[in-house]
């Protein structure tokens, strides 16, 4: 009678580990892929970890605990598996983190990576808590301070492979038509695009807005139209019906504004999908 195998069999007997390396890598990527992306957090001992759920209770990579070879082959695997969200929420505390904002949290994480792992990042979403009151969109993007934002923008300018989407605490889709009026200076600062004339044809002057945008660019190191991998995202979700109703009511109350509801809606839909 053959001797019973112990709890740990030889790695050479594993059907998975006998497969070619390229095929194993495809299997590894499949096991960690999540349609909604992964979520950054820390383990109970404060170790940076990627989770498969927003509550950060299910670690995405369980393979690394099987044996030393799988640990070596799957370490850092989640970094290259699509979108990674960094977020603060009221139900989760990041153990061992002293970050004061989600922007600082991400920047600290980048510092901890060597070049090999950093090169695997492709899309990062920074979700800041929604403030109790709407704030000026010129300050504290993603909850970070001005120094953090300068570092983040510089990181995007120097690494075209990485796209970063940042929450805008001062803009929310549930504001209806106000979302677009408040976004005019932000779009001008980051994209050098004048949407004011499209929304308020013949009625909008850019003297004040252009001055603000110019000062903002200098202050934050923004290069207009060259920041395609740095996207600003209004908070919340776009409700097309409610947004259309808000704009239609606003235009009806202001007959001097001759733009169409469709023009406003097209901007909102584009921002919902791709950010500002």
Task: Look at residue 91 in the predicted model and tell me its pLDDT.
Answer: 43
Task: Look at residue 220 in the predicted model and tell me its pLDDT.
Answer: 66
Q: Alpha-carbon distance 263 to 150, whole Å?
A: 32
Task: Look at residue 5 in the predicted model and tell me its pLDDT.
Answer: 42
Residue found by looking up tokens 């600003």 in the block: 232
Q: Alpha-carbon distance 93 to 179, whole Å?
A: 31
> 274 or 111, which is more confident?
111
Is the pLDDT at 252 greater than 90? The verdict is yes
Instruction: List the chain domain ranges.
Output: 15-90+98-274
- Which pTM does this prediction carry? 0.74
> 4 or 232, which is more confident?
232
> 206 or 96, which is more confident?
206
41-94 pLDDT tens trace:
877 777 778 888 877 778 878 788 888 888 888 887 788 778 898 886 544 445
Which of 30-34, 133-137, 186-190, 219-223 is predicted least confidently? 133-137
Q: Considering only CA atoms, which of 272, 149, 163 is closest in space to residue 217? A: 149
Confidence band (pLDDT; 50, 70, 90) for 4? very low
Give me the sheet containing 230-235, strands edge to edge.
48-51, 38-42, 83-87, 123-127, 163-172, 230-235
For the chain, the average pLDDT equals 78
Is the pLDDT at 202 greater than 80? The verdict is no
Is the pLDDT at 104 greater than 90? The verdict is no
Q: Alpha-carbon distance 234 to 247, whole Å?
A: 17
- Cβ neighbours of residue 166 under 8 Å, at least 6 residues apart? 103, 126, 128, 141, 142, 152, 230, 231, 232, 233
- Cβ neighbours of residue 62 under 8 Å, at least 6 residues apart? 31
Alpha helices per DSSP H over 126-260: 146-158, 177-191, 196-199, 207-220, 240-253
Task: Look at residue 147 in the predicted model and tell me its pLDDT.
Answer: 77
Q: Alpha-carbon distance 147 to 26, whole Å?
A: 40
Average pLDDT over residues 239-252: 93
185-199 pLDDT tens trace:
788 888 888 888 888
Average pLDDT over residues 190-212: 77
Is the pLDDT at 17 greater than 50? The verdict is yes
Q: Considering only CA atoms, which of 236, 121, 110, 109 is closest in space to residue 170? A: 236
Confidence band (pLDDT; 50, 70, 90) for 266? very high
Q: Alpha-carbon distance 213 to 101, whole Å?
A: 24
Task: Look at residue 261 in the predicted model and tell me its pLDDT.
Answer: 92
Residue 258 contacts residue 200 (beta carbons within 8 Å): no
């Amino acid at each position: 009678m053959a001797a019973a195998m112990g709890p740990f069999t030889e790695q050479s007997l594993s059907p998975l580990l006998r497969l070619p390396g390229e095929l194993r890598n495809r299997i590894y990527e499949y096991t960690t892929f999540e349609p909604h992306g992964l979520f950054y957090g820390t383990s109970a001992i404060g170790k940076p970890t990627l989770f498969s759920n927003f509550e950060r209770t299910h670690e995405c990579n369980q393979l690394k605990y099987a044996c030393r070879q799988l640990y070596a082959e799957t370490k850092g695997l989640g970094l290259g598996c699509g979108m990674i969200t960094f977020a603060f929420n009221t139900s989760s505390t990041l153990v061992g983190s002293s970050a004061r904002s989600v922007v600082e949290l991400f920047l600290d994480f980048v510092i901890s990576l060597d070049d090999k792992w950093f090169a695997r990042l492709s899309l990062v979403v920074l979700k800041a808590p929604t403030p109790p009151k709407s704030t000026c969109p010129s300050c504290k993007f993603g909850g970070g301070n001005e120094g953090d934002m300068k570092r983040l923008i510089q990181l995007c300018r120097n690494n075209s492979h990485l796209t970063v989407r940042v929450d805008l605490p001062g803009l929310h889709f549930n504001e209806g038509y106000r979302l677009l009026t408040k976004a005019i200076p932000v779009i001008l600062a980051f994209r050098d695009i004048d949407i004011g004339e499209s929304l308020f044809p013949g009625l909008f002057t850019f003297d004040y807005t252009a001055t603000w945008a110019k000062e903002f660019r200098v202050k934050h190191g923004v290069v207009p139209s060259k920041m395609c991998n740095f996207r600003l995202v209004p908070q919340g979700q776009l409700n097309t019906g409610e947004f259309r109703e808000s704009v239609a009511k606003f235009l009806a109350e202001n007959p001097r504004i001759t733009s169409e509801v469709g023009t406003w809606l097209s901007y909102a839909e584009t921002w919902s999908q791709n950010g500002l």
